[in-house]
Amino acid sequence: MHNDLALIDENNIATSTFMTYSYETDCFSEARLAFYFQIVQEAAGVHAALRGCSIPSLHTEGKTWVITRSSMEVFRYTAWNEAIKIETWAQEPIRLHLPRVVKGYDNVGNPVFIAKTHWAIIDLDSGRPCRPMDMSLRIGLPPASDEAHHLDMTLPRKQDEVELELLSSYKPIIAYLDTDRNLHVNNISYLNWALESLPASFRNRCKVSSVDVSYLRQTYLEDDLNVYTYSKDQKALFTDDPILEHRILRKEKDGSTTLVWLGTTSWKRREDLR
């Protein structure tokens, strides 16, 4: 992935440009969903780094960033060699989280995606979250007068589970490259595993139009994980606009299981997202 040097304006909005390279596309030469999540991660990381609070910088302070939830609406998928203009900014803290928005646009200004993410600052010694107000001051927030850069960042509460039909399961092998600078599995790997649990015939026909994922527990290289995909409709994978529920569970040494990642994806036909 390559992005032009990010700039931060007087309203604390960071802008940059990413190119859709061939290795970020699928067999139809269209951007992969994971590529958009990579952009979100990179844009947030570069913005924080320009303010002196990247993950390596925070490690020297005994702290780190972790993402706890990410919600994205996809308007279209870019094609190979197409540029994506990015805007990102932080917003007022919500309890122990520092929210961030990342918006992508094409060359003529049409929206490509919008992501709303919740981040937490963790104390490395205690493993507990720190109050985010100091970090919001370091990064800088848009002024109150900039209404275009103040969005509702209250993400919907997870609904009580209803009866779901199991559609597929998948057992990932956690690779060395799945781990990140915090030495746990990177957030994008969970998403890739959830999508990998689905049949190719379905993914050739449909792509994700919205996604909402929660990172509940950290996982590591040696963990034993299983991915499960559910829906209210047993025939969801044969429809054009299903809503799928994804769960990743870790098998513990005592034989019990722990829910580590939770996701919901909504889908549309590929041609509707071009």
pLDDT higher than threshold 90 for residue 163: no
pLDDT at 156: 82
pLDDT at 159: 65
Mean pLDDT of 104-109: 96
Mean pLDDT of 220-242: 96
Q: Residue 158's pLDDT band (boundaries 50, 70, 90)?
A: confident
- May I ask the CATH class of domain 165-273? alpha beta
Give the torsion sign (CA, 155, 161, 167, 171). Answer: positive
Rounded to whole angstroms, the maximal C-alpha distance in the chain is: 56
The single residue listed with the structure tokens 């209250």 is 154
Phi, psi of 136 (to 5 degrees): -65, -35
Write the pLDDT tens digit of every residue in 27-79: 999 999 999 999 999 999 999 999 999 999 999 999 999 999 999 999 999 99
Which amino acid is residue 119, in one-letter code?
Answer: W
User: Residue 39 in contact with residue 72, Cβ under 8 Å?
Assistant: no
* 209 burial via Cβ count (<10 Å: 0-12, 13-18, 19+): buried
For the chain, what percent of residues have pLDDT higher than 90? Answer: 91
What's the mean per-residue pLDDT of the chain? Answer: 94
pLDDT at 180: 87
pLDDT higher than threshold 60 for residue 98: yes
Q: Residue 124's pLDDT band (boundaries 50, 70, 90)?
A: very high
User: Residue 84 in contact with residue 8, Cβ under 8 Å?
Assistant: no
pLDDT higher than threshold 80 for residue 8: yes
Q: In CATH terms, are 7-144 and 165-273 the same topology?
A: yes
**Structural domain spans, the chain:** 7-144, 165-273
Q: Residue 157's pLDDT band (boundaries 50, 70, 90)?
A: confident
pLDDT higher than threshold 60 for residue 2: no
Reported pTM: 0.94
pLDDT higher than threshold 70 for residue 95: yes
Q: How far apart are alpha carbons 217 and 13 in whole angstroms?
A: 31
pLDDT at 4: 61
pLDDT at 265: 98
pLDDT at 1: 58
Q: Residue 160's pLDDT band (boundaries 50, 70, 90)?
A: low
For the chain, what percent of residues have pLDDT higher than 70? Answer: 97
CATH number of 7-144: 3.10.129.10
pLDDT higher than threshold 60 for residue 17: yes
Higher pLDDT residue, 5 or 267?
Answer: 267
SS3 call for 188:
helix
CA distances from 19 to 74, 82, 88 (A): 17, 6, 17
Residue ranges with strand state E in 62-131: 63-74, 83-90, 98-105, 111-123
**Which positions ≥6 away from 77 have C-beta within 8 Å?**
30, 31, 112, 207, 273, 274
Write the pLDDT tens digit of every residue in 167-176: 999 999 999 9
